[in-house]
Amino acid sequence: MSNYVFKLPDLGEGTVEAEIVNWRVKPGDTIAEDEVIVEVMTEKAAVELPAPVGGRVLSITGTPGDMVPVGADLIVIETGTPATTAAGAPAPAPAAAPAAAPASAPPARRAGANGAEAPAQAPAASARAGRVATSPAIRRRAHEAGIDLQQVTGSGPNGRIVPKDLEAFVARRSQPTPLRPTPKAVPSARASAAATEEIKVIGLRRLIAQRMSEAKRNIPHFAYVEELDITELESLRRHLNRKPADGAPSLTYLPFLALALIRVLRDFPQCNAHYDAERGVIVRHAAVHLGVATQTAEGLKVPVVHNAQELGLWELAAQMRRVAEAARTNKAKREELSGSTITITSLGKLGGIASTPIINAPEVAIIGVNRAVERPLVLEGAIAIRLTMNLSSSFDHRFVDGYDAAAMIQALKEHLEHPATIFIGA
């Protein structure tokens, strides 16, 4: 027997460190080669690291939330081959017995992890004793809730656990038992009010908090809200949805907004730009790489439709839906989560009257959509009920003057209130 030391590899794009998000193994576990052992988060994306060799885990380094530099030891694995490290150098012999599993490590998911002391299992359970097929987000939710995924039945392809499976398991587990509670089992209102819960801010949530704080602290936001009469747009949207193209998604307002924005940015290139703070340079982009702010179970992500200016309405709708769904299911490629030049954000039916969205740095503008509602408006001296919606946008006032921001939104309003103009001169 010998020991293999696996170090944090270079994950590319100038990464010098990564945050440990979730250990999939603990000391004493037996693992197979290529089995995912840990999830880490870089400044760009979440990454699952597989085991380079199979064997028994002797020790792990760090707990969720810890930052680990590239090249630092992550895990020591006992193998049946000559001692090596991930870099090919001899592995140092451990000075002491393997460290105990940290308190935050997830429970073991494999039978036989403790050798002869492991409880016997039925054949059906043994068949599922390997790695459970599911997404990192579901693994994290299960870990935080103290749920062993081996007990959850998956309804996806090849028994993969999907969100509804975990939700159903939690619902069943939370159902009250038929036993009659004793007075001691019923907590008092005072005790319930005094309860607290501490949640460590790690992974994507930590990264979101960091970026939002930096954007709000470093960018002087200028907010601009404008009311739109989208009665004609709604009529066109309904008409097109009655006769969609083959396989095309149902149209929402967002593809129309995106297409109108692409048209408008031709005349306002200063809003389709990045600010490179290190070089003190504004980089204007000819292409529109459209960010689509998307709420996921892990937090806010901004998947990107690259070269959106090359797409028509139906293609744009399909691509916006595709990247948003990929972000929600953790299937988005790394390049699909970076490189946006301007972002659209929407709270959908919860959009409220107005909002002040935070700019997705290094961009200099973000366009927000609020809820569509019917309101009385004065048209040609008479009161009429019209469908209205507000655009709530934010601009980096260092590089986008108030006049230019207002002019751009007014041009966008003109297109959306008279939607036929979106397709003229396309």
Instruction: Indicate which residues carry an active-site annotation.
Output: 397, 401
Q: How far apart are CA 288 and CA 308, in angstroms?
A: 6
Q: What are phi and psi of 71, to 5 degrees?
A: 95, -10
Q: How far apart are CA 290 and CA 286, in angstroms?
A: 12
Report the Cα 312 to chain-centroid distance in Å: 26
Q: What are phi and psi of 118, to 5 degrees?
A: -65, 140
Instruction: Of 391, 296, 295, 283, give the one whose Cα is nearest residue 340.
Output: 283
The position carrying tokens 């619902």 is: 171
User: Distance of CA 66 to CAs 86, 310, 322, 393, Å?
Assistant: 21, 42, 33, 36
Helix (H) or strand (E) holding 392: strand 382-396
How far does the chain reach from its first CA to its final CA, in angstroms?
68
User: Distance of CA 235 to CAs 144, 312, 375, 426, Å?
Assistant: 46, 19, 16, 21
> How many other C-beta atoms lie within 10 A of the C-beta of residue 399?
17
